[in-house]
Structure 1
């Protein structure tokens, strides 16, 4: 090779390496390029829950109505609670409105080798002990989950995928915050996460896994462990519950990390008992879920986040706002001050299912929504509203059936002019002293950012979109 040719080759190689380094995460193919959990939470901004969809289940062993009256296709479950099948158009609408994260709650137990052979139209009772679930997730169910995840990822949004109503207070629940139940279900729980992790092991940092939803003790206590006992607290039940939560969290991390690939440093989310926020001061044990949560041992550094859920009484606006301030102070004390980012994975009104509360206290709801988003953003906390912004037939159009509430959430994060004023630009504004603009393949196309055709570009190591 001639010296001049060799020199040009070396220079070209160096230039390409610089461009790739500048491009950062958008060209990343290795797990060790993943952003930290703190960076991910900042980039997630605000989000929405695709609730009452892939999380649908019969929820009562004496009335397994989905299994009794349908063919048990994925669509039968997805639409069982009154929502239409999820479409890409719905996710696009959320993205264009300014939401940058979609949480996809998924209930897995009906799709794990459970044939429900004794459940039919005349007999709706299921005995889990006689017909136990297995460990293998049905292929058609996993395929539908993957399809919906792909809708989100295709929009450049963050996606949180979880294990949802396998926890909770229904009598179909099999993941319980109790050390004996954990010992019994450990292998099945880890098998679920091994399969999920392997299915998505090549996905980039926009996909996060959430180990479990609102896991409760053997008494189905909310707020804190053992609250549902006769004396409103039982030290033995509480200790077992908090120990189990930490064990499930460790099993979750172990199972995902063991699959390798991009899961080696994927950002993972764990929750305290019941995903409790620690809100309120009416009982001395309310902060126990936060105090008792221990971060799992993780071979990946800085790739764990904590998720809490927070619902307020919209009939008492100032009290709700005061509680938010107290909540954030507690989250700072127990997590943020220790370098652990926080996600409010669900938030809204404690009367979310009562639409009359939204109607009768609409101004309270709107004021609170903006306040909540402003405060969590200032604290570096991502927040994901629970479900109601687009509900039922509105999702099929798609449209927002609570557009005023959506607007306050968006303004709370992006300011009075909202998201479209900042982001939906037909051309990108030029700035002095900017570096050159490159395509995502590393080709320099301009020294300016203005008058670019629609597409995705890199400048100064950051990706931007021209629409």
Structure 2
């Protein structure tokens, strides 16, 4: 793979500096000499938040549905406990596509304005080159020289514009670097070339850039050990104490999108998270190199926020916060407008999720094996047992509102087994109408109280339906229950597409329950690839443990559904 000589990057830097009239200033470079070590600075940035789908949107800031960033937004973020903000920036639509790849002055000034607003709110700021990574940087294997020239020109201009910005502004070379049709070895080599050029350009631009903290990603911002090792070698070679590494984390994929029957935070999902954070810490933090988890969340948030069941979701973020804390990783929550209401700046879409994430920054929370106890609508109610996940806390008891339930009479604890008595559940179930009849709290010595919902249900009932390969809406009486997952198999035992390596389909992309609308909708990504004339058996798994089968058949563009 061809290398870009450092002299070429330096020559381009000198040429562009002469155009914009920038002059290196030793005085400016030494103005921030009170700056702490990179480890200390990155630690002070914990916790962080992403201004997603804003300056990274294209063609403009509001194109993806979010309002313009304001001082009030950053004040809110700071007041909610965040200490830093990552401001992703996509430059492509505001830059000439040919040399000298000039960035529009109006856009650069807007980026600077937003950074200044965040700084004025007391936040550290991380800016980057964002969706450009797949728009043109990914073409580097076949368009090497042009990509390098544009990348160098971009960072020369960005570095020049922010040359005298406070040291609380950090630069990230490129978001989620990817390279089309390249081997892993080639990807790491190409990324190393970009990172070296980025480093030389920023450091050579003078001012506070001489010792500003620079953030370098792994390939795909993945924590696979080979990618961590590749970046570690590059950081060692650069011999610069003001560098940080960055990875992203969206969880074990089957859990993160609810596919392949992974509906709970099982052992595999937990170990995936623990291993990811441990590897990052051992490769970098243990050697004095700080790590920023520049994005984290669940992939299903972009499709259906209900794809991962609420209690399992809370357990995931509780564990994530703990692992970040013990491994000394700084985390930046990905929010593209789906979490904080950016119109009102007064509420979170899911207050319980935010409370759990915020709590995890400082302490652990106890949980139980499930947040729901499903009781049959009719017949005798029996005692139910849940497993306590103490997570280093101690169990304090159960409450319903301000009323404490009585140990011994309402519940018992034996080791990690919490058993609610039949008498208590009968009282809590009330008239046993479908749905949540009572909410109780398990309280622990620290963290967020764990909600447990007492639910009455009957087996759900699905009705016949007809539709097209675009959509099929199945009338459904949920009867207090909720869908956990759906299987789809043909009579010959083969699995339906997409993802025919598993019988369990992806929640939100192939099917979507609508509880308010009393229906389950089968979606185009699923219906459009069904075999014609071959009956397909669906098995809906519900959180109560109930299973309901349903048969769908495609004829041309028409799809019919028959209840079993």
- Which residue matches 1:239? 185
Structure 1 residues 33 and 368: CA distance shift in structure 2, 3 A: same
Residue by residue over 1:133-177, the C-alpha shift from the partner in whole angstroms, topping out at 9 and shown as x without a partner, is 752110110111111111111111111000000013xxxx11127
CA–CA distance in structure 2, aligned partners of residues 259 and 146 of structure 1: 17
CA distance in 2 between partners of 1:201 and 1:326 (Å): 38
* TM-score under structure 1 length normalisation: 0.65
Counterpart position of 1:257: 203
Please name the residue that 2:23 is paired with: none
What is the distance in 2 between the residues matched to 1:80 and 1:38? Answer: 36
Q: How far off its partner does 1:41 sit?
A: 1.3
Moved more, 145-154 or 187-196: 187-196
Please give the per-residue CA displacement for 1:89-126, whole angstroms capped at 9, x wherever unaligned: 11111100101111001100111125xxxxxxxxxxxx
1:204 corresponding residue in structure 2: 166
- Write the mapping of 1:183-332 to structure 2, written as runs, cut at 5 A: 183-219=145-181, 237-278=183-224, 287-293=225-231, 294-296=233-235, 301-312=240-251, 313-314=255-256, 315-318=263-266, 319-332=268-281
CA separation in 2, counterparts of 1:156 and 1:202? 17
Aligned to 1:396: 343
The alpha carbon displacement at 1:378 in A equals 1.7
Whole-Å separation in 1 of the counterparts to 2:210 and 2:89: 23
Q: Which has the larger radius of gyration?
A: 2
Change (3 A) 1:378 1:412: same
1:343 to 280, 286, 292: 292
Compute the RMSD of aligned alpha carbons.
Answer: 2.4
Partner SS state of residue 306, structure 1: strand
CA distance in 1, matches of 2:363, 2:79: 16
CA deviations 1:389-415 (Å, max 9, x no partner) are 7558x2021132222222111111134
Does the Cα contact within 8 Å between 1:35 and 1:205 map onto a contact in 2?
Answer: no
Q: What is the rounded CA distance, in whole Å, between the counterparts of 1:55 and 1:403 in structure 2?
A: 26
What residue in structure 1 maps to residue 39 of structure 2?
38
Relative to structure 1, the CA distance from residue 390 to residue 357 in structure 2 (aligned partners, 3 Å threshold; closer, same or farther) is closer
- Which residue is equivalent to 1:424? none
Cα distance change, pair 251–180 in 1 and its aligned pair in 2 (3 A):
farther
Q: Is the 8 A contact 2:57 2:63 kept in 1?
A: yes
Contact 1:108 1:166 in 2 (8 A): yes
CA spacing shift, 1:364–1:307, aligned 2, 3 Å: same
Given that 2:99 and 2:150 are in contact with CA atoms closer than 8 Å, whether structure 1 keeps it comes out as no
Partner of 1:406: 354
The reply on whether 1:367 has 2:329 as its aligned counterpart is no
Count of residue pairs brought into register by the alignment: 326
Q: 2:79 aligned with 1:96, yes or no? A: yes
1:198 and 1:347 map into 2 onto residues whose CA distance is 30
Name the one with the larger helix percent: 1
Rounded to whole Å, the distance in 1 between the matches of 2:309 and 2:247 is: 25
SS of equivalent to 2:49: strand
8 Å CA contact 1:256, 1:263 repeated in 2: yes
Unmatched 5+ residue regions in structure 2?
1-28, 257-262, 366-564
Match of 2:103 in 1: 137
C-alpha distance in 2 between matches for 1:182 and 1:297: 25
**Aligned-partner SS, 2:316:** helix
Residue ranges of structure 1 left out of the alignment (5+ in a row): 1-27, 58-65, 67-76, 115-131, 220-225, 227-236, 279-286, 418-467
Q: How far apart in 2 are the matches of 1:217 and 1:262?
A: 31
Query: After superposition, what is the alpha-carbon deviation per residue over 1:302-336, rounded to whole angstroms, capped at 9, x for unaligned?
Result: 10000001111243313332212111221133222
Residues 1:111 and 2:117 aligned together: no
Q: Which whole-Å deviations, capped at 9, do the CAs of 1:6-48 have from their partners, x for residues lacking one?
A: xxxxxxxxxxxxxxxxxxxxxx962443222211111011111
Deviations 1:48-84 (A, max 9, x none): 1111111112xxxxxxxx5xxxxxxxxxx11111111
Given that 1:177 and 1:240 are in contact with CA atoms closer than 8 Å, whether structure 2 keeps it comes out as no
Deviation at 1:352, TM superposition (A): 2.4
SS of equivalent to 1:204: coil
